[in-house]
Structure 1
Amino acid sequence: MTDKQITGLTQAEVDPRIQNGQVNQAIDDQSKTATQLIRENVFTYFNLIFAILAVLLVFVGAWNDLTFLPVIVLNTIIGIVQELRAKKVLSKLNVMNATEIIAVRDGQEEKIPIEKLVQDDVVLLQTGDQIPADARVISGELRVNEALLTGESDEITKTKDAELMSGSFVVSGKAYAVLEKVGKDSYISKLTIEAKAMGSVEQSEMVRSINRLVKWVGIIIIPVGIALFSQSFFLNNIGLKRSITSMEAALIGMIPEGLYLLTTIALALAAMRLARQEVMLHDMKSVETLARVNVLCVDKTGTITEPKMAVEKAVSSKNFTGDLSSIIADFAKNMPADNATMKAIQAYFKDGTKTADSILPFTSVNKYSGVIFGNQTTLIG
């Protein structure tokens, strides 16, 4: 199939796919809504016990005995705020770079945001592009780096009918490809959703132990509370209000609400300190999980660094007498900014004036790149 024969989808074919949800927009099924997070933190067994005690005290007008409520409210608010902050951070986690890609529609090439691509769209992939969805090559040839997905930095040649994995990068070449799996069905979307997934089981051993303690205490205090109230009201005849307040005083001491609040505050403060260091947590209880880690294993692509590069200065060798900055600027001016290193060099050396006759883009196989000028001057870096 030649380039002229590639017409892509028509608008009449695109519209039904959009209506059927066959759009390249990942749906995060793992993310909880703000309402769900608030409900999970408010409607707990711990809060239920104190709610019942508070209702009984309000019923008899013992307002002065409601001093335990601020502790419960503060504990709930801290939990909600931290969960919402974690949700906001996780919502930013995306392996795909938001950008535009050239797609063929109605026989014309046009730049379209990747989230508006649909299944069976034909896209033009070139050096520096990130493959937006799982696709198949229909014309041309590419060299693709799948390190972001597989951890291997090898460049793989993709020819006609070869499969392309979303999230991988085009190192060199040019090809047309048809999108076969888009949105949440694509490989990169499944990886992103898995990374964002939060288990339904309580992950913190401390909180889990406290919840277990509160659960059993909550069960035990029911017969104990009934017995204390019966003794005060029926046997000692001290009145309804005094019977309820004396029962409440005895039961409150059995529930470790202070320990619950102290644990929550400690985890929240730890999460805040990590947040200032730009550490992303699923929730504040992940701090305890991190504290239990003895060994952290990463592969060769798992270096924990900031994904930015910047040129500090250019240093000439002792025997070099030319203008090094000018030479690097001419070199950078003609190279495609398809990697972090070249982007940093071009940001620092901006005064290039010469236009090269030909260039050799950098690949991890060759380990170098080069430019050739009209006077047969060749620069290799």
Structure 2
Amino acid sequence: MVTEAAPGGDAVDVGRGLTAGQVARRVELGLTNDVPVRASRSVWDIVRGNVFTRINAIFGVLFVIIMTTGYWLDGMFGLLIVANSVVGMVQELRAKRTLDRLSIVGQVRPVVRRDGTAAERAPDEIVADDVIEVGAGDQVVVDGVLVEAVALEVDESLLTGESDPVVKQVGDPVMSGSFVAAGNGVYRATKVGREAYAARLAAEAGRFTLVNSQLRNGINTILKVITYLLVPAGALSIYNQLSGDQALPEALRGMVAALVPMVPEGLVLITSIAFAIGVVRLGRRQCLVNELPAIEGLARVDVVCADKTGTLTENTLRLAEVRRLTGDDVAPVLAALAAADPRPNASLEAVRVAHPDSPQWTIEAVAPFSSARKWSGVSFGGGHGHWVLGAPDVLLTPEHPALADADTIGARGLRVLLLGRVDSRVDSEGAPGPVTAVALVVLEQTVRPDAASTLDFFAAQDVTVKVISGDNPRSVAAVAGSLGLPGAENPVDARNLPTEQEDLASTVDSGTVFGRVTPAQKRAMVGALQERGHTVAMTGDGVNDVLALKDADIGVAMGAGSPATRSVAQIVLLDNRFATLPHVVAEGRRVIGNIERVANLFLTKTVYSVLLALMVGIPGLIGLEALPYPFLPRHVTITGWFTIGLPAFVLSLAPNHERARTGFVRRVMRMAVPAGAVIAVACFVSYLLAYAGTASTDAERVRASTAALITLIASALWVLAVVARPYAWWKIALITVMAGASVLMFVLPPARALFLLDPSDTRQVGVALVCAAAAIVLIELSWRLGNRLTAR
């Protein structure tokens, strides 16, 4: 068959595809599918996004102010500009490399005809007028026009929202982003590159971003509140320091020291790093994260809906037995049925392997397998009849005696298909009609060796697993029961599921094993669970799983699954191992749980910094004696390193198996606000008791500042100790090292000289420690009370 190719200006033989010369001409004309593998940020975007930030701008201005005073050591916080930028860039670049590498491995590779040979090619190798073959489960990667079609049904629900597959004929258009639900065909590419719909779809679906993240939204809400607090606190601090009798350089130092700790400079950085490291860690397990918020969603999952085939069992099947119900010789029929499908599914492939010698029968009509119909069929010429192969309980009447045999076999965990003869063509209206049972085809499937341990992990983590399959309910229950899944003894036949949404939600919520589920029902079941407040992860590998994967909170596809499932899933397990999923869930919980931990540290610092600035500034504002800010910039910088920065980085990488919950902002503020208020009051009291007034000497002011700093560091270290619970040896070591480094700062003469500290007044040091002890008691009480309120 020859068709005119308008863009290239030459004729294309669709039977053989483009020639090498025709491909070269189209490449010269720029008619290529020049779409990036994924829309990850460019290196320049990553650099710009990490350097030119609001926090870096604030610190940059304050750094310049300190440099003008000549006290360069007080500008140590300027190192945060470098640290924030470098660490963020390195981690995001690592994540980008991991994502891009895995995207190439996991990308859809369409079968393209060229020079008479059909072979898989990368999407970016496709040119205009390429001839592309598609079968069930394949994604349409570029827009085109059909030149061949055999019972082809295309699902365009991802584009139009219409769930019913559309029957396509030769000459009909096909759009990228749709996928083949049944049958097979060949189309000629008409729109490639950025003209095709797939380019826009991929740009939106594969972007390296944190959009629609509950965690990120919570942090943004907190930062917005902090911004409102910074304005009055910062203005008061500036007024207080510049209106006193201090020299300008001293006033500027106090002002900068008050403003620097108000900014939670590491919170956004630690969040980005935690997500990026999560991507890298999952990448090492051959897990491709198509959408970054999926890591957060995994931490919230409490229900996993798993398909049986390809998830609990291996994706390959073996023909175990053919039980003849009549005297017909079924071997040639089975061989002919398998040979009639150029892209056989796992069941037909098992039949083909067992019966490779196909008779040369003429094919008059084909009904490809569909998950909705649950049968396939072929009409042969020459008097060889019309044959169907599919689910016995779908093709036979309920009272048929063969159903009892099929049910008994299925109860052993085997897959049973019925080979039957029908009276009319399989593509006629109302097909298949009455079916004469000829044989039961028994297929054996191997349970994955790691499936039981995976289910045990989810049970231990309070994650409910529901097995949703298109197979016979008793067969599915037998497999699930062999793995020890609770509730497997009561399988549900999806054909009896209620249609009312509330009744459906109740049935799905209480059930564990579901059989004979259609693709539309899978989608409805996921939605019903979500309406009950569950966060649902859906795993699958077949075209029948696409709609449910798309609607689930987290869609998880197997790498060997159909291209359509891989394209809509947020997570792709390239190693095809269900046992990888616990590591994926654990990584999500680690990321989210640890971000919540470190958020407590950063926000506690912000609260006590803002309140302390207000307490120091208000006396001067109401006409009382103005107080200089108790700390120097170098003090707050080193305090931040020892009590927040370094510990937060370590804690953000620690294991954490607690399931993420909603209410992130409320829980964090419940800890940070009272702890920050207690620390601010304790520091202020300690400072007032040690401060000798405006007539004090520089040495007396240093001793007063030292006393306040002792109270601050001791109290902040206790917040670290609270956040680090429950303890492990390395957490105790972390707290000990940070406390030891803080003590050395006050003990070692070089450190005292460097940081302008003087702990020589034992009375003031004693008062500072008493204030710190009182703060520790109050922090502990507020933490325990907060836990009780959270539990309620």
Category of TM-score, reference length = shorter chain: 0.5 to 0.7
Percent of aligned positions with the same letter in both sequences?
23
Residue of structure 2 equivalent to 1:323:
none
CA RMSD in angstroms comes to: 5.5
- C-alpha distance in 2 between matches for 1:228 and 1:147: 68
Confirm or deny that 1:142 pairs with 2:150: yes
Is the CA contact 1:27–1:183 (under 8 Å) kept in the aligned structure 2?
no
2:246 corresponds to 1:236: yes
Q: Give me the whole-angstrom Cα distance separating, in 2, the residues matched to 1:319 and 1:355.
A: 19
Equivalent residue runs for 1:1-381 within 5 Å: 3=1, 7-8=11-12, 17-27=26-36, 31-60=40-69, 62-69=71-78, 73-77=82-86, 79-81=88-90, 83-84=92-93, 87-88=96-97, 91=100, 97-103=108-114, 109-111=116-118, 113=121, 115-119=124-128, 121=129, 123=131, 125=133, 131-138=140-147, 140-147=148-155, 150=158, 156-166=166-176, 167-169=178-180, 171-172=182-183, 177-197=187-207, 204-213=216-225, 215-216=227-228, 223-224=235-236, 226-227=238-239, 230-231=242-243, 235-237=245-247, 240=249, 242-257=250-265, 278=287, 280=289, 282-283=291-292, 309-311=314-316, 338=343, 341=346, 345=350, 354-358=356-360, 363-364=369-370, 365=373, 367-368=375-376, 380=419
- Aligned partners of 2:322, 2:79: CA distance in 1, in Å? 69
Bigger share in helix = 2
- 2:348 and 2:182 map into 1 onto residues whose CA distance is 15
Alpha-carbon offset, residue 101 of structure 1: 0.7
3-state DSSP of counterpart to 1:184: helix
Amino acid across the alignment from 1:205: N
**Whole-Å separation in 1 of the counterparts to 2:360 and 2:234:** 84
For the residues of structure 1 that align with 2:313 and 2:77, how far apart are their CA atoms? 50
Report which of the two structures shows the higher radius of gyration computed on alpha carbons.
2
Q: Distance in 2 between matches of 1:38 and 1:59?
A: 28
Q: Which amino acid aligns with 2:359?
A: D
In the alignment of these two chains, the number of paired residues is: 351
Q: CA deviation at 1:44?
A: 1.1
Structure 2 vs 1, CA of residues 269 and 174 (structure 1 numbering), >3 Å: closer, same or farther? closer
Spell out, residue by residue over 1:267-324, the C-alpha distance to the aligned partner (whole angstroms, 9 max, x if none). Answer: 667777877694726446x66677789999x9xx999x8699434877669999xxxx
CA separation of 1:38/1:331 partners in 2, compared to 1, >3 Å: closer, same or farther? farther
SS of alignment partner, residue 358 of structure 2: coil
Structure 1 residues 98 and 168, CA gap change in structure 2 (3 angstroms): same
Structure 1 residue 162: Cα displacement: 1.5
Q: What CA distance in whole angstroms lies between the structure 2 residues aligned with 1:13 and 1:272? A: 41
Displacement after TM superposition at 1:36 (Å):
0.7
CA distance in 1, matches of 2:204, 2:227: 32
Secondary structure class of the residue paired with 1:180: strand
In structure 2, how many angstroms separate the alpha carbons of the residues matched to 1:173 and 1:36?
Answer: 42
Q: Secondary structure at the match of 1:49?
A: helix
Q: Do the aligned residues in 2 keep the contact of 1:334 with 1:356 (CA within 8 Å)?
A: yes
| Alignment-mate amino acid for residue 212 of structure 1 | K
Query: 2:620 aligns to what?
Result: none
Amino acid at match of 2:174: L
Post-superposition offset of 1:231: 4.1
Distance 1:262 1:116 in 2: 39
Alpha-carbon separation, structure 2, partners of 1:331 and 1:266 = 55
Change (3 A) 1:331 1:225: farther
CA contact (8 A) 2:65 2:252 kept: yes
Cα distance in 2 for partners of 1:28, 1:40 equals 22
Indicate the residue corresponding to 2:721 in structure 1: none
- Looking at structure 1, the residues matched to 53 and 2 of structure 2 have their Cα atoms a distance apart, in angstroms, of 64
What SS does the aligned partner of 1:310 have? strand
Deviation per CA, 1:203-248: give whole Å up to 9, x if none.
522331344345446655765565355346xx333x73x4443332
Task: Give the TM-score of the pair, scaled to structure 1.
Answer: 0.63
Inter-partner Cα distance in structure 1 for 2:185 and 2:271: 56
Unaligned runs of 5+ in 2: 5-10, 13-17, 326-330, 390-418, 420-440, 442-792
Deviation at 1:344, TM superposition (A): 7.7
Distance 2:131 2:274 in 1: 51
SS in 2 for 1:146: strand
Taking structure 2 as the reference length, the TM-score comes to 0.35
CA contact (8 A) 1:125 1:170 kept: no
For the residue of structure 2 that corresponds to 1:48, the secondary structure is: helix
Equivalent residue letter for 2:50: N
The gaps in structure 1 that reach 5 residues or longer are: 321-325
Structure 1 residue 163, shift from structure 2 partner: 1.6
Structure 1 pair 353/256, CA: closer, same or farther in 2 (3 Å)?
closer
State how far apart, in whole Å, the 2-side matches of 1:89 and 1:51 are: 32
CA distance in structure 1 between the aligned counterparts of 2:134 and 2:271, rounded to whole angstroms: 53
Q: Distance in 1 between matches of 2:125 and 2:280?
A: 36
In 1, the alpha carbon distance for the partners of 2:297 and 2:337 equals: 46
| Cα shift at 1:263 | 5.5
Deviation at 1:141, TM superposition (A): 3.4
